[in-house]
Structure 1
Amino acid sequence: MSEAITDRSALSDVERRVVDEVSIDEPWALLEEFSELERLSGSEDERAAAEYLTGRLDAFGVEYERYDPELYISQPHDASIRTINKTFEPGIVKTVGFSASTTVEAEVEYVGTASSDLVDDGEGGPREPFAELDDLEGRIALVDGGSFSIGATTVLEEKGAAGVIAIHEHEREPHDGIATPVWGGAPPYDERDRIPDVPIANVTKHDGEILREWAESDEGLELELSTDLTTDWMACPIVEARIEGEADPENDDFLLLHGHYDSWYVGITDNATGDAGMLELARVFEEHSDQLKRDIRICWWPAHSTGRYAGSTWYTDEHALEIAERCVAQVNMDSPGAKDSAEYTDMSCWTPEAHGLVTDAIDDVAGIPSAEQFPPRAGDYSFDNIGVTGFFMLGSNIPEEIREERGYHPVGGCGGNSDAWHVSTDTLDKAGKDELLRDIRIYAVSILRVLNAELLPFDHARYADRLIDQVEEYDDAAGDAFDFGPTLDELRALRAEIESFRERAEAGEIDPETANRAITDLSRTLTRLYLVEDGQFEQDPATSRNPVPRYDPAYDFARVDGDDARFLQVQLKRAQNETVYELRQARNDLPN
């Protein structure tokens, strides 16, 4: 199917051979196998899926490890609502991972719209949901707006809610999800109180509208909410393939390709298609290992859906130092190959320095539209705190006009197909053979351009520009209350040094090993500034974030005064001191 490549002349010899050898046969066989497996983490079907993966890796001659860590996960089983003072037969009701497993009976209060912050992926939304809401005093909070935000759930619990019911956009079946803000499922001991302690349920849009009408009536609404879950430590297999690049035996840097293989129901486009793509890339890269300069690791994660990325978090903790020292990029393969997907515009994202690499690969292989999106705190990006360059989270998407024609509401996966995302209808018919083959090839080319680059193809001058733009926004928001000038001065100075460094490296004045170490070190500094607040070997919570989140409180100057404004100045002064120091260190560490 070489005729499907848009610009073969733009591909290197090894890139042409790899894309020509990528086939749909092995990926589709996996989809057919997984279409019979409901891969809930901790289940027999998940273990069967892991055994299928290791069996195929054996057949390809790919070396691998299987780990079976005990992860702290939450399996939802059942939920129900029973109205006390009304006659009502609800449709499908679901609870979510890390809800409390209990029964409560209480009056219902409609509290409005939480945010667009989807419960499973933490995108967007206000920083302080329900800030004006009065004490709920043991009532059940009814929340509108698609899904409820994780931050909103915390606020509702703090305000005394006895339970939470979220009204989803889906008319037939509410989406499955997870409620904990704790990245990785298991919290550090001093953060254990962040796990929700109230029952949470999701209802359909139709049922939610009825409940809202009754809750807002003069008579009010009373109901009984019951949830049933198992939340515990469970053994969950992680499969890790390792392919050593033999073209440069002295280079032990690696790229990490990864995605989750657990699922809600059979989860074909979330994420059996990604699992299939990674398996095919393992097969083809193994065949061409003698032409790879760097190593590649390919990991299939459990506990994405029921452990808040617990599998990738465990791996990050276990391999933290070698990731920090040797991982040049992490690539997420989640929801590629959805039927009718035709763009990389709405759902795929990357850190700014990878922009040219990714968009060039998309152009060369497929010639379809692409656009950069800010990486949300989601998608097994468990490597953000370490500071690893990341590209792709989710894959291609169905064009917006087609989604609108079909009446799809926004969701965080399955190519934008809301009739598949986190519901029982994410079945084999939701995947497309041509679309999946195209996406695997795009991944192959972008990955090869990292594995075989003389100089890592990351544009950190562009990264600095993006950071400058964002800090200027914070400076404008703060007005006279705070001056971000020192940060902007350091970023501009660093940008100039980066341009000079890159020119000298490309001219051969700096040896490639030294230059690549400097490029990776720049990623560590700039990615941490762009995406995280907590320490390098910690995990930020799974809640909404803006770029340069340590400076995000600058927006609060618009609503605080007096002592609060001065306290905020103290906070930002210390954050700026840390940032300026890190940027100066990054500039000083660039090769002379």
Structure 2
Amino acid sequence: MSQHAVNSDALNDLESDVVDAVSVEEPWKLLEEFSDLNRVSGSAEEQQAADYITQRLDEFGVSYDRHEPELYISQPHEADITVLNKSFEPGPLKTVSFAASTTVSGPVEYVGSAGGDLLEDNDDPHEPYHDVGDLTGTIALTAAGSLSVRATNVLADKGAIGVIAIHKHDREPHNGIATPIWGGAPRYDERDKIPDVPIINVNNPDGERLREWAESPEGLDLEMSTDLTTDWMECPIVVADIEADTETDEFVLLHGHYDSWYVGVTDNATGDAGLLETARVFESIADQLERNLRIAWWPGHSTGRYAGSTWYADEFALDIEENCVAQVNMDSPGSKDATEYTDMSCWCPEAHDLVGGAIDDVTGAPYGENFPFRAGDYSFDNLGVTGLFMLSSNIPPEEREKRGFHGVGGCGGNSDAWHVSTDTLDKAGKEELARDIRVYAVSLLRILNADILPFDHARNVRAITDAVKEYDKTAGESFDFSPTLEELETLETELTKFQQAARDGSIPSSQSNEIITRLSRILTRINLVQDGQFEQDPAVGRDPVPRLAPAKKFPILTGDDERFMQVQLTREQNAVIKELRRARSLLPENVSA
């Protein structure tokens, strides 16, 4: 019986053995090693980190491949602001990956916050900065903080020659990236989407001072300079293989990034440590696994917009599409004082019971379901792979508020660690890291050894239905989504029958699992993406069922714009209905309505 699980009676013998086998000793060695390495992609210290990972895998007897692709990444170096009509000595200044490397000067115009269309706020139907006029020849100062790449593009389209973003952090602004191109390297026909203006992030006190001057009668004139290297750089990708005793092509992909801003202990050295510990433990039980486990360490996450995982998704697309039953992202586990799984971790709807059960049985901690936003290394969405996690446990919101932390996208919610120089070893917790690794391990085992894959696609359809109902309500008389809702209702009924028949053994398990995986390829794509299966959606905020989400704009559309949107959604609805019918066609005839 496991000594490390809250509800040990709920674990089978193998799960108990794995939970007890997880130790913090090996993970902490990696953290100590990585805590001295600035693992910027394309750097010698990133190579050192890859060397450490492969050396430890060799020690464990784990087989692996080390790929050395050239990725298109952008290393930010220096940023400078010189105020031309005031005396200004700024604190830390940072440019962002894929900003233009140049110097510009001009008057500053404060443009407020972006409004809608940020990653964290998709409720405003307007485009960001919809109320901002012509910015030709000016430098835009925005309070958007970690402004979305779409917002940057809007400011540039309005004529801004540079952008300065005011961050909420009082000491130093967070590092970031400006390109909307998932994977860093654009398609030839998307190369013009790389930003062509310099961007500088400033801390909150400096930003407020600049804002005060910009809004004063005298105004503000300044010169801003940025220095970056944007180029193709060789970056190692390490992929370990834990082969099951059963001969099978099916696998689960467990993955996380090992590059970082600064030493990035909780983003994402803790995840790298968790991947390594999982490889060690699962190699020792490989003969008891029914499916293969593939574990990958990615470069290019921070400076290449998930370039490493995107390269892998492109190079191994057909293998992933045919054989990957789930992808599991390990990012920011083990943050000190992270005790819940409530507002940062996310997963696809069909995996909710699986993930929730693992959290319950191992930790008993609170958890909450969050829609998988377009971020992390979810580079497998377009392929249609069910995803678990993306971020891990979090510091409780009330504790974050007490400490004065503002909202961030990692490090357990510790804004004094995320994408700043202070993400150091003291930000990680040994107990928290071991606990999080055990949650991942149990989740993995329950997929790897499941007779019937534990994904509830009837629940998936209900989540899609809820989103479409909201769009239907918002559209009102402007558009009718009832054809889609009727198809969803029929599909949910048939899926419920299918899943019961699969559990009862009325359908051979091999057939059931093939259907479940094929359903993921359709329903995950409906719920998460809008572009083609072998493409990558841009790295901008997304809503559920993004092909139908433009319906949210109906409240602000009139005349021709409203009718153009009706044309668009008629076509998109046809495409969605066709896919839903294709999902129904996968089900055995005896469960069809």
Does the TM-score normalized on the shorter chain lie above 0.5? Answer: yes
CA change 1:116–1:417 in 2 (3 A) is: farther
1:389 paired residue number: 386
Letter in 2 for 1:102: T
1:54 paired residue number: 54
1:413 paired residue number: 410
1:497 paired residue number: 494
Indicate conservation of the 8 Å contact 1:312/1:382, yes or no.
Answer: yes
Q: Deviations over 1:462-481 (max 9, x none)?
A: 11111111111111111111
CA change 1:580–1:197 in 2 (3 A) is: same
Alignment partner of 2:422 out of 425, 439, 454: 425
- Matched residues in 1 for 2:362 and 2:129: separation? 46
- Matched residues in 2 for 1:452 and 1:384: separation? 23
Indicate conservation of the 8 Å contact 1:117/1:148, yes or no.
Answer: no
1:157 paired residue number: 156
- Matched residues in 1 for 2:206 and 2:481: separation? 49
Offset, 1:4: 3.1
Q: TM-score, normalised by structure 1?
A: 0.98
Q: Deviations over 1:241-297 (max 9, x none)?
A: 011111x22x22000000000000000000000000000000000000001000010
Alignment partner of 1:378 out of 369, 375, 379: 375
- Matched residues in 1 for 2:152 and 2:28: separation? 39
Alignment partner of 1:548 out of 545, 551, 569: 545
Give SS of 1:225's match. strand
Q: TM-score, normalised by structure 2?
A: 0.98
1:41 paired residue number: 41
Indicate conservation of the 8 Å contact 1:514/1:591, yes or no.
Answer: no
Indicate conservation of the 8 Å contact 1:117/1:150, yes or no.
Answer: no
2:174 paired residue number: 175
Letter in 1 for 2:131: E
Give SS of 1:3's match. coil
- Matched residues in 2 for 1:254 and 1:210: separation? 54
2:9 paired residue number: 9
Alignment partner of 2:337 out of 336, 340, 360: 340
Letter in 1 for 2:37: L
2:211 paired residue number: 212
Give SS of 1:166's match. strand
Letter in 1 for 2:389: F
Which 4+ residue blocks in structure 1 deviate beyond 2 angstroms? 1-4, 115-118, 122-127
Alignment partner of 2:303 out of 306, 315, 318: 306
- Matched residues in 1 for 2:357 and 2:337: separation? 22
Give SS of 1:4's match. coil
Letter in 2 for 1:177: G
Indicate conservation of the 8 Å contact 1:294/1:452, yes or no.
Answer: yes
Aligned-residue Cα RMSD (Å) equals 1.1
1:148 paired residue number: 147
Letter in 2 for 1:24: V
Indicate conservation of the 8 Å contact 1:31/1:273, yes or no.
Answer: yes
Q: Deviations over 1:329-357 (max 9, x none)?
A: 00000000000000000100000000000
Indicate conservation of the 8 Å contact 2:382/2:535, yes or no.
Answer: yes
Letter in 2 for 1:158: D
Once the two structures are overlaid, the 10-residue window that deviates more, 500-509 or 282-291, is 500-509
Letter in 2 for 1:210: R
- Matched residues in 2 for 1:147 and 1:290: separation? 46
Alignment partner of 1:588 out of 577, 580, 585: 585
2:226 paired residue number: 227
- Matched residues in 2 for 1:350 and 1:171: separation? 32
Matches within 5 A, 1:422-571: 422-571=419-568
Matches within 5 A, 1:235-384: 235-246=234-245, 248-249=246-247, 251-384=248-381
Give SS of 1:297's match. strand
Indicate conservation of the 8 Å contact 1:385/1:537, yes or no.
Answer: yes
Offset, 1:116: 8.2
Matches within 5 A, 1:183-198: 183-198=182-197
Once the two structures are overlaid, the 10-residue window that deviates more, 26-35 or 499-508, is 499-508
Once the two structures are overlaid, the 10-residue window that deviates more, 522-531 or 226-235, is 522-531
Indicate conservation of the 8 Å contact 2:4/2:20, yes or no.
Answer: no
Q: Deviations over 1:17-46 (max 9, x none)?
A: 111111101000000000110000000000
1:20 corresponds to 2:17? no
Indicate conservation of the 8 Å contact 2:375/2:539, yes or no.
Answer: yes
- Matched residues in 1 for 2:585 and 2:20: separation? 44
2:83 paired residue number: 83
Give SS of 1:331's match. strand
CA change 1:115–1:38 in 2 (3 A) is: farther
Offset, 1:115: 4.8
Indicate conservation of the 8 Å contact 2:103/2:223, yes or no.
Answer: yes
- Matched residues in 2 for 1:175 and 1:563: separation? 42
Once the two structures are overlaid, the 10-residue window that deviates more, 564-573 or 263-272, is 564-573
Offset, 1:561: 1.7
Offset, 1:145: 3.4
Give SS of 1:539's match. coil
Letter in 2 for 1:35: S
Indicate conservation of the 8 Å contact 1:515/1:591, yes or no.
Answer: no
2:113 paired residue number: 113
Gapped runs of 5+ residues in structure 1? none
- Matched residues in 2 for 1:146 and 1:560: separation? 29
Indicate conservation of the 8 Å contact 2:114/2:128, yes or no.
Answer: yes
Q: Deviations over 1:126-178 (max 9, x none)?
A: 46100121110110000003321111101000000000000000100100010
Indicate conservation of the 8 Å contact 1:116/1:123, yes or no.
Answer: no
Alignment identity in percent? 66
- Matched residues in 1 for 2:356 and 2:399: separation? 23
Once the two structures are overlaid, the 10-residue window that deviates more, 269-278 or 108-117, is 108-117
- Matched residues in 1 for 2:161 and 2:421: separation? 29
CA change 1:115–1:20 in 2 (3 A) is: farther
Offset, 1:432: 0.2
Indicate conservation of the 8 Å contact 1:341/1:397, yes or no.
Answer: yes
Once the two structures are overlaid, the 10-residue window that deviates more, 560-569 or 178-187, is 560-569
Q: Deviations over 1:156-208 (max 9, x none)?
A: 00000000000000100100010100000001011111100000000000000
